[in-house]
Amino acid sequence: MIGMLLRCAGMALLFAGATYCLSAAVSDGTATRRAAQGEGRTGTFVAERRNCPKMCAWYGSFQAPGAHRAPGRDFELRGATDGDIATGQRVQALDVGSRDFVYARGGPPEWDITFSRSMGALFLATLGTALLTSTCRTLGNRRR
**pLDDT tens per residue across span 38-94:** 899 999 999 999 988 778 889 999 988 876 655 557 899 999 877 789 999 999 999
pTM of the model: 0.74
What is the DSSP track for 60-78?
A: EEEE-TT----TT--EEEE
Domain 39-105 has CATH 2.40.50: yes
More confident residue, 33 or 8: 33
- Round to whole Å and give the CA distance between 77 and 57: 7
| pLDDT the model gives residue 72 | 53
Domain boundaries, the chain: 1-37+109-144, 39-105
Q: Closest Cα partner for 103 from 69, 84, 81, 80?
A: 80
DSSP helix/strand/coil, 144:
coil
